[in-house]
Structure 1
Amino acid sequence: MQPGCAERQRQLGAAFGKLDAVFVNAGIVDLRPLADWSEAAFDRSVAIDLKGPYFLVKALVPLLSNPASIILSGSVNAHMGMAGTHVYSLAKAGMISLARTLSGELIGRGIRANVISPGPIDTPLNDKLGLGPAETKTRAKAVVGMVPAGRFGTAEEIANAVVFLASDECRFMVGSEMLIDGGMSIM
């Protein structure tokens, strides 16, 4: 356990008691061709997109109620072969696998884990890709062209799915993935 982790667990427990649900929504999107990846860049992406969420869940499990729900954030990219997304995609595929393996291990304690895999969502992340205004507009048009629903999803649509997965309405959903991608993964 990381130094200070036990103290943070104690503080969280004192402030909130037992947790009924945890939504682990962490990630960066670093898109580049295979030839442009260094080991340091790879390690950074995997640390943020997979390692960090893994150890956060590990630290929070002792604080979870019975029953409780863990919701992990995956991505439609784990199901697609989009150029330049391989490191991001492999980390998000790891999150999908993590939901299954956590469920297998924790279901006896009343803790279920599932994953939400969004497609393109209209968030401030889209402005952090280092593109100029014209390139951003061109990229957005190209992305929407890959989505049968013809638009970006909204943060509210993802939040609604998280609330559903955290609720007792889906307590039989265990180790599953919910794709919220406007049909992008079926194309």
Structure 2
Amino acid sequence: MTNRLENKVVVVTGGTSGIGLATAKAFADDGAFVFITGRRQETLDAAVRSIGGRVTGVRGDMGRLEDIDRLYEAVRQKHDQIDVLFANAGGGEFAPLGAITEAHYQSTFDGNVKGVLFTVQKALPLLRDGASIVLNASNVSAAGTPSFSVYSASKAAVRSFARNWMLDLKDRHIRVNAISPGVTETAGLDHLFGGGAQAEGTKNYLAGLIPAGRIAQPEEIARAVLFLASDDASFVNGIELFVDGGQKQI
């Protein structure tokens, strides 16, 4: 606990599990006022209890513009500005070329691209000058992955947003960076890999491809997000920070 973000107002979308939950907890432990979103009320309530501290849960799907508006209205009721925005909500599923459906494409791009775009754009009136925006991309956009082209393309778009938005926001001195995690121990990953022994086998195989020799824990990604969000990264702008144990550097 460093208190680098004491009394800062932080928004974490998709904050009910995995990387989002770990990051929201890290922000709260660092003294911030934290707002999280989630699509299911029961899961959202459980996350709020788990995080503790000064946290507010707002139910919503960040692929729906009206839900994004509801999020920022909840922030306005308590605070005049946002200091940090972590656009984390999103997800994906496997589908090889030849089996990609319009529904698969729509769901992935609505959550990962449309959601990130309008989460950030609709935050602009509340973001203070000098604020920090962190976008959750992925290391899969840096190399090919079988049956994962739609998800990978959506995360490449997120990474591109950081490069472009730092220029759009330079007069307000708002920094925009992308975090690109590698394989991370989350419930979502287990679901993606089929659960049970199948998921464990896939994770063990992937760990063997990572120079660090293991997959990441969500708290390790969270610490990198906090760095980018804090004044410790005051001259870091527009980057893609890989937090993947070195996987994409070889």
Give the TM-score of the pair, scaled to structure 2: 0.70
1:26 aligns with 2:99: no
Instruction: Give the 5 Å matches for 1:68-147.
Output: 68-129=131-192, 131-147=194-210
Give me the whole-angstrom Cα distance separating, in 1, the residues matched to 2:195 and 2:212.
26
In structure 2, the CA distance between the partners of 1:138 and 1:15, relative to structure 1 (3 Å rule), is same
Cα distance, 1:68 vs structure 2: 0.2
Q: CA RMSD in A?
A: 1.8
Instruction: Return the offset for 1:127.
Output: 2.2
* Matched AA of 1:128: H
- Identify the residue that residue 79 of structure 2 maps to in structure 1: 16
Range moving further from structure 2, 148-157 or 68-77: 148-157
Larger relative contact order (CA 8 Å, sep ≥ 6): 1
The offset of 1:22, in angstroms, is 0.5
Amino-acid identity (%): 35
Give a deviation string over 1:72-98, Cα, whole Å, max 9, x none.
Answer: 000000101111111111100101100
The SS at the match of 1:34 is coil
- 1:185 and 2:242 are equivalent in the alignment: no
The count of aligned residue pairs is 187
Q: Residue 44 of structure 1 aligns to a residue in which SS?
A: helix
Tell me, what secondary structure is at the counterpart of 1:62? coil
- CA distance in 1 between partners of 2:81 and 2:183 (Å): 33
Q: Structure 1 stretch 144-153 or stretch 127-136: which is displaced more?
A: 127-136
Q: In the TM superposition, what whole-angstrom CA distance separates every residue of 1:105-156 from its partner, at most 9, and x where no partner exists? A: 0021121100000000111112212614221122111111221111011111
Q: Is 1:154 matched with 2:217?
A: yes
Distance 1:45 1:132 in 2: 21
Aligned pair partner of 2:234 in 162, 168, 171: 171
Question: After the TM superposition, which parts of structure 1 deviate over 3 Å for at least 4 consecutive aligned residues?
Answer: 2-11
Unaligned runs of 5+ in 1: none
User: Which TM-score applies when normalising by structure 1?
Assistant: 0.93
Unaligned segments of structure 2, at least 5 residues: 1-64
Q: CA deviation at 1:16?
A: 2.3
Classify the secondary structure of the residue corresponding to 2:215: coil
Shift of 1:9: 3.4
SS of 1:150's equivalent? Answer: coil
Match of 1:35? 98
Shift of 1:55: 0.7
Higher helix share: 1
